Amino acid sequence: MKEPKNLISAILLSIPLMIVAAIISIGIINIFSNISLSDFGLTSSSISITINLGIIFLLVFLLILHELLHLIFIPNFIKSEKTYVGLTLFGGFVITEEEILKSRYIFITIAPFMIISIIFPLILGVFGLLTPPLKFLIILNSMASSVDILNLLLIIKQVPNNAILKSNGPYTYWKKSLK
């Protein structure tokens, strides 16, 4: 596949997707609860940022949850000797060198965005549980999912249906399925 050469390039290319993903999550949140900049400490007269241990814990939990959602949808990830989880300066990652069908690869790629930034706010909104910290984390996840969304678009555009994908380090390859 033709992919960005490194993570910095992928992040820069995904900035427009970051904005679109945030707008989608904000739109979903707005169905159930007003959202404003004042929810996040920004008013016309001041900027107030409160950082407490609870928010730091929730940020770490969000990172772990996001990556676990990628991981649990990889077939046989528990037994796999070709699946890895890790952290970098830019966040977490899950990578597998297992061969995966295109449809499954798409699902693995988009699962954290769909679950945390679309389904989760719909459920919380129905029950009236969308607090400002949760709104912040939902929007943050949608923005952080922009590289996943870029990857999704590249797969949809470049890989034929019923193909099998395989990653080898930073490169992803595909071949037509024999089925």
Per residue in 22-50, pLDDT (tens digit) is 999 999 999 999 887 777 767 777 777 77
Domain limits for position 101: 7-34+53-176
Choice among 28-42, 68-82, 148-162 with the minimum mean pLDDT: 28-42
47 within some domain: no
Strands 100-101 and 91-96: unpaired
Compute the average pLDDT of residues 113-129.
Answer: 97
More confident residue, 159 or 39: 159
- Please check the confidence at residue 98 and state whether its pLDDT lies above 90: yes
Compute the average pLDDT of residues 85-109.
Answer: 91
Task: Dig out the tokens for 87 from the structure.
Answer: 């952290």
* Mean pLDDT value across the chain: 92
Compute the average pLDDT of residues 123-135.
Answer: 94
Q: What pLDDT score does 179 carry?
A: 62
Give the contacts of 115 (CB within 8 A, at least 6 positions apart).
69
Compute the average pLDDT of residues 62-69.
Answer: 96
Give the contacts of 5 (CB within 8 A, at least 6 positions apart).
170
- Please check the confidence at residue 161 and state whether its pLDDT lies above 70: yes
More confident residue, 139 or 6: 139
- Total tally of structural domains belonging to the chain: 1
More confident residue, 91 or 31: 31
Compute the average pLDDT of residues 123-127.
Answer: 97
DSSP 19: H
Ramachandran angles phi, psi of 88, nearest 5° = -130, 180
**Taking the model in full, what pTM does it have?**
0.89
Q: Is the torsion defined by CA of 84, 71, 175, 147 positive or negative? A: negative
Q: What pLDDT score does 17 carry?
A: 98
Task: Dig out the tokens for 17 from the structure.
Answer: 């997707």
Compute the average pLDDT of residues 150-162.
Answer: 96
Give the contacts of 118 (CB within 8 A, at least 6 positions apart).
24, 25, 28
